[in-house]
A and B are shown apart, each in its own frame.
Chain A
Amino acid sequence: MDMSLFLVQLLNGVQYGLLLFLIASGLTLVFGVMGILNLAHGSMYMIGAYLVYYFASATDSFLLAVIIACVIAMIIGIIIERFLIIHLYNRDHLDQVLLTVGLIFIFNAAQSFIWGNDPLGVEVPELLSSSIQLTDIVEYPVYRLFLSVLCIGIALAMYYVINNTKLGMMIRAGESNREMVENLGVDISKLFTIVFAVGVTLSALAGIVSAPIVSLVPGMGERVLISCFVVVVIGGMGSIKGAFVAALLVGIVDTFASVLLPGMSSMTIYLLMALILIFKPQGLFKS
């Protein structure tokens, strides 16, 4: 593998990893603060992608479509938390699994009802559709670079919010001791609604921004959910820092595996996970 090809793969791996981080951070945030395992997290990724497809063709503006899709995703998140998840706080993991599996079924049915089962695609917005010349023969699309920058921006924003704001303080407190936060007079139900809506929106946002570089097919949500689980298990459930490191690791390993080991590329990240679990059953960064 020559240098330029290596660079392209590395950029792809980082970009994929950052996208995974966006999704995994939502999942791990919701689990860390609320103790809820949301299996329908991947479905929100799918819904985000389909929503942006719909609004991009309806409004002719990608940016507008992104904003509308985000808002809708957030509203869906609030509705789910207020009407369904709210009943699960004192129930065991199994009920959470069941209820969110029910949600996956509903989202999948909605997707096939509204958009059908044929693969769809979203065009890369014109402003970002060019490519950068890396060397004489190797080019790299601007949109993918934009994606990486955007994800890093969001990661930094999350870091800032969690460490420097009142909301972040409550989130950190919620992660370490839920009952205590409640006893201290924090409106925990409002906090939970915000965290859930934000978590779900992060996943939808990942679907929204990756819509131009993937094809929209039924089942895309579950595929992403599984990779996201691998990230969260490696990083340590509930740890956002762990999710960041693990997402980059998974993204890079997965990308290189598909180039270097084409026969077994789809298995590599699971082998990586099994290997890490043997030495660190709680993940790299236990929260």
Chain B
Amino acid sequence: MSVFSTKAEKVFILAFFFIALGVPLFFNENTFYVNKISTMLILSIFVMSLDYLVGKTGLISLGHAMFYGLGGYLFAIMVPEYEEVNFWIYTFYVMAASSVIALIVGLIVLRTSGIYMIMITLALAQMTFYFFADSTEYGGLDGLFIYLKPETSIFGLNFLDLDNETHFYYLCLLSLFNCYVFFKITLQSRFGRVIDAVKENPERATALGYNIFHFRLVAYVLSSSLAAYAGYLFSLQYGFVNPTMMSWEVSASALVMAILGGLGTVFGAILGVFVYESLHYGIEHMTQYWMFWMGSLIIVMVLTLKSGIAGLVEKLVTGKRK
């Protein structure tokens, strides 16, 4: 069995990581673009986690940004204020804490599915948003600042400096790569095949003796904790967290990016993020009413592109027409 599901995926992934490795060399004078692309890599992790949840398990969440924001907040809350902590240890803490939260939230939201789940995930995410926005302890709408970036020594070796844009860029790229490989392995494992079955036909999966609730819960926790990891990276990049990170707009645009890229394709998440963010950046540059054009674009996309850009790439690569 090939690592890649389609030819388009193979071409895209190889080209993407090859080009991405060279980005800092290309922009070595201009850290602005390196930072911008680092943010897109982080977003790709976030969108990939959502794509896994929505595209592979068929559970639609419109509140995934809750975990994105929580990743940042968990770090900002746990870290001692003026102390340099270890990146890897805190990565573990953040992901462990967010998994526990995801488990509890999952127990509530997974009792439902379809339209109900869309509404409940959105409502719970808004609840968390207002919790942080109204709190005085966690900085309200201004959020919290992260004064010192963690150091990254591992077994005494320290080769990454998070204050250095290029180093941070490679950390993001490595994280995205690991995330991609992780999802690929998960999808091709026995667990992944049961998840497929649960999505395609829940009744039959139940009849075969699988407890579909447990499988969905595990997928939900995996997806949520990776979203939290992305949020954690984002907060490290910019040195702060605020409730905007978990606003419904973030959840909605992540969903748009996942669908734009081609739902359930995993690699499409990267494609979706880069296309959407480039458009967003370009349109925002020209007019302050960028939301109008983005909105129109989304509507046109829904009405015309049924399998996202990934489907388009697939058509181009294979030359087939449906």
What is A's interface to B at a CB cutoff of 8 Å?
31, 37, 84, 87-88, 93-95, 97-99, 101-106, 108-110, 112-113, 222, 226, 229-230, 232-233, 237, 264, 266-267, 270-271, 273-274, 277-278, 281-282
Contacts and interface: CB of A to CB of B under 8 A. Distances in A.
A97 B54 CA distance: 13
Contacts of B130: 266-267
A103 B294 CA distance: 10
Given A106-B292, A109-B289, A266-B131, A226 B60 contact: no
Given A94-B60, A98-B302, 9 more contacts: A93-B60, A97-B255, A105-B298, A109-B290, A113-B289, A226-B122, A267-B127, A273-B120, A281-B116
Contacts of A281: 111-112, 116
Interface of B: 54, 60, 62, 108, 111-112, 114-116, 118-120, 122-124, 126-127, 130-131, 134, 248, 252, 255-256, 259, 263, 289-292, 294-299, 301-303
B299 A266 contact: no
7 contacts: A98-B255, A101-B298, A112-B289, A233-B123, A237-B116, A266-B127, A270-B126
A230 B131 contact: no
B106 to A, nearest CB: 12
A133 to B, nearest CB: 34
Contact of B114 (A93, A108, A266, A273): A93
Contacts of B119: 37, 229, 232-233, 237
Contacts of A102: 294-299, 302
B167 to A, nearest CB: 36
Contacts of A113: 289, 292
B295 A97 contact: no
Main secondary structure of the interface of B (DSSP, over half): helix
A105 B123 contact: no
Contacts of A273: 120, 123
Nearest to B292: A109
A88 B299 CA distance: 11
Contact of B292 (A31, A87, A105): A105
A110 B112 contact: no
A274 B125 CA distance: 12
A229 B126 CA distance: 11
A98 B304 CA distance: 13
A103 B302 CA distance: 12
B302 A95 contact: yes
Contacts of B248: 222, 226
Contact of B123 (A106, A226, A264): A226
A37 B115 contact: yes
A109 B289 CA distance: 6
A101 B256 contact: yes
Contact of A103 (B111, B123, B297, B299): B299
A273 B111 CA distance: 13
B119 to A, nearest CB: 4
